Amino acid sequence: MVKSSEYLSVSELTDYIKRKFTVDPYLKRVYVTGQLYNFHLRRGHQYFSIKDEQAVIGVAMFAPQFRKVQFQPKDGMKVLITGRVDVYEPRGNYQLIAETMEPDGLGALYLRFKQMVQKLRGEGLFDLPKKPLPLVPRRIAVITSPSGAVIRDIITTARRRDPKVQIILFPSAVQGDDAAPQLVKQIEAVNRIGDFDDLIIGRGGGSLEDLWPFNEESVARAIAASQVPVVSSVGHETDTTIADLVADRRVATPTAAAEVTTPVLTDLISQLSTAKNRLVQAVNSQLKLSQQHLNELTQSYIFQSPERLYQGYEQNLSNLTTRMTAAFQHQLHQRSQILNQRRMTLLHYSPAQRLNESQHQLKEITMKLQQITKDKVQADGQSLVTLIRQLDSLSPLKVMTRGYSYVSRDQHVISSVGQLNNGDTVQLHFHDGSADAQITETQAEEQNNDNN
């Protein structure tokens, strides 16, 4: 029988299994392919599963590693994952700790390309207004490899079309991991210098992997931010990069890039000469027509006899003046008659008589009012004297002259003997002054009881 001491706890067993996973050389670095299952983007660490037809395994991918993923994982996508196998001790589950993740099936680079196109198109980067190319550029910047055929083709074509144009090379790697940073650096350098009419970015054809620096997001954003018009000449006519989509002009070959940025000088001179001749002919024709029109005007009767131009106006002015004078006199006569009629009416209703009568009535009313006021004042004076006498007879001071007084203590009037105690000091008030007194004895009168 197995002793209880020989049993392992759950944590001891899990720890033992974890050590087995850790020291196993085959589980330190594993390469797994499968279909994403239950994948949801979260902040920070990502926890999901991968499966095939027969099994499912949990996957943990921590934030530092997930930030390096160059595509957008989605549920159901087949992926290639490298990492190690470990045990999550709290649950006793084994899981895959992912270090890298790439898409499988369509190809990692092609899927990254499609997702990058979708992202930048959603931001409107491909729909920005395209800057026009100058007709006659003076200086053209070219970003490409200094040892490739691209720069030679551009220089040869540009010099043949316009010997005066300056081609300035900004050397950069066009393939490999260092290419994208160098391309961005040179695009920024061209814009920082600022004395360029066009910017050509190009390289020869190649695979999707060879052309990948021109699909990097940093390069696309640098081209979109360029103030100098950008011509993209990457790969062959069948190749399409994100640089082509965001550039102001896309051409198939470096030769075509030189052709769209530089005019043929002889053709331009010929076009200018033709335009000059057409302009001179148009001006001469216009001058001829203007001269004919001027001659016709100078031969007209207005210029021959200019006084005829205003004779009709002068006659109209004379007629209008006569009519206006007659109308004014008629209006003045009517107004004079109305004024005389109103003057007679005003004299008939003269207010002088009514004013005299009103003044006489006012004088009589004034005399009556004065007499009434005088009588009223005398009557009210007599009533006032009577009231004063009555008030004086009721005055407490008048009563106190007959021997009455009142008692107070501490400025409070004493109205009852019950308010006093033996030894209290009180004040006796008379009509002509006051005196202090001390209470030696109090006597209260008996009150009759109405109920007895």
CATH number at residue 150: 3.40.50.10550
Domain stops at, among 296, 312, 345: 296
Q: Which amino acid is at 67?
A: R
What percent of the chain is predicted at pLDDT more than 70? 91
Instruction: Say how far apart CA 72 and CA 64 lie, in whole Å.
Output: 16
Give 304's pLDDT tier (boundaries 50, 70, 90): low
pLDDT score for 448 = 57
Instruction: Say how far apart CA 32 and CA 94 lie, in whole Å.
Output: 15
Instruction: Say how far apart CA 10 and CA 21 lie, in whole Å.
Output: 17
**Same domain, residue pair 161 and 178:** yes
Q: Is the pLDDT score of 169 beyond 90? A: yes
Cβ neighbors of 354 (< 8 A, separation 6 or more) are none
Mean pLDDT over all residues of the chain? 84
Is residue 324 one of the residues assigned to a domain? Answer: no
**Same domain, residue pair 258 and 273:** no
Cβ neighbors of 213 (< 8 A, separation 6 or more) are 173, 174, 175, 176, 179, 180, 183, 219
**Same domain, residue pair 156 and 255:** yes
Specify the residue for token string 């990058």. Answer: 116
**Same domain, residue pair 252 and 127:** yes
Instruction: Say how far apart CA 395 and CA 181 lie, in whole Å.
Output: 119
Is residue 253 one of the residues assigned to a domain? Answer: yes
**Same domain, residue pair 73 and 138:** no
pLDDT score for 447 = 61
Strands (E), 228-374: 230-234, 249-250
Q: Which two tokens stand for residue 378?
A: 């005398």
Burial of 382 (0-12, 13-18, 19+ CB in 10 A): exposed
On whether the CB atoms of residues 228 and 190 are closer than 8 A, the answer is: yes
Domain stops at, among 51, 73, 105: 105
pLDDT score for 71 = 77
pLDDT score for 124 = 92
Domain stops at, among 247, 263, 279: 263
Specify the residue for token string 């002068």. Answer: 314
Is residue 443 one of the residues assigned to a domain? Answer: no
Q: Is the pLDDT score of 209 beyond 50? A: yes
**Same domain, residue pair 121 and 231:** yes
In this prediction, residues 94-100 reach a mean pLDDT of: 90
CATH number at residue 16: 2.40.50.140
Residue-range definition of the domain harbouring residue 429: 400-438
**Same domain, residue pair 144 and 248:** yes
Q: Is the pLDDT score of 312 beyond 80? A: no
pLDDT score for 189 = 95
Starting from the edge strand earliest in sequence, which strands make up the sheet with 433-438, in order?
412-413, 406-409, 425-430, 433-438
Is residue 326 one of the residues assigned to a domain? Answer: no
**Same domain, residue pair 100 and 119:** no
What percent of the chain is predicted at pLDDT more than 90? 24
Starting from the edge strand earliest in sequence, which strands make up the sheet with 198-203, in order?
166-171, 139-144, 198-203, 230-234, 249-250
**Same domain, residue pair 174 and 191:** yes
Instruction: Say how far apart CA 186 and CA 170 lie, in whole Å.
Output: 6
Is residue 377 one of the residues assigned to a domain? Answer: no
Instruction: Say how far apart CA 358 and CA 368 lie, in whole Å.
Output: 15
Burial of 226 (0-12, 13-18, 19+ CB in 10 A): buried
Three-state secondary structure call for residue 445: coil
Cβ neighbors of 84 (< 8 A, separation 6 or more) are 27, 28, 29, 30, 96, 97, 99
On whether the CB atoms of residues 141 and 199 are closer than 8 A, the answer is: yes
In this prediction, residues 191-212 reach a mean pLDDT of: 86
Instruction: Say how far apart CA 36 and CA 98 lie, in whole Å.
Output: 13
Cross-strand bridge partners of residue 436: 427
Is residue 407 one of the residues assigned to a domain? Answer: yes
Q: How many domains does the chain have?
A: 4
First to last CA, the chain: 121
pLDDT score for 421 = 86
Instruction: Say how far apart CA 176 and CA 198 lie, in whole Å.
Output: 26
In this prediction, residues 428-446 reach a mean pLDDT of: 83
Instruction: Say how far apart CA 52 and CA 60 lie, in whole Å.
Output: 18
What are the C-alpha distances in Å from 338 to residues 257, 331, 332, 343, 347?
A: 98, 11, 10, 9, 15
Give 446's pLDDT tier (boundaries 50, 70, 90): low
Q: Is the pLDDT score of 198 beyond 90? A: yes
On whether the CB atoms of residues 137 and 261 are closer than 8 A, the answer is: yes
Is residue 290 one of the residues assigned to a domain? Answer: yes
Give 451's pLDDT tier (boundaries 50, 70, 90): very low
In this prediction, residues 203-231 reach a mean pLDDT of: 88
**Same domain, residue pair 259 and 119:** yes
Is residue 219 one of the residues assigned to a domain? Answer: yes
Please tell me which of 45-54, 205-214, 294-303 the model is most confident about, judged by mean pLDDT.
45-54
**Same domain, residue pair 256 and 125:** yes
Q: Is the pLDDT score of 177 beyond 50? A: yes
**Same domain, residue pair 228 and 147:** yes
> Can you say whether residue 221 is alpha, beta or left, with left for phi > 0 and alpha for psi between -120 and 50 degrees?
alpha
pLDDT in tens, 319-372: 888 899 999 999 999 998 999 888 887 776 767 767 777 888 888 899 999 999
Q: Which two tokens stand for residue 110?
A: 């092609």
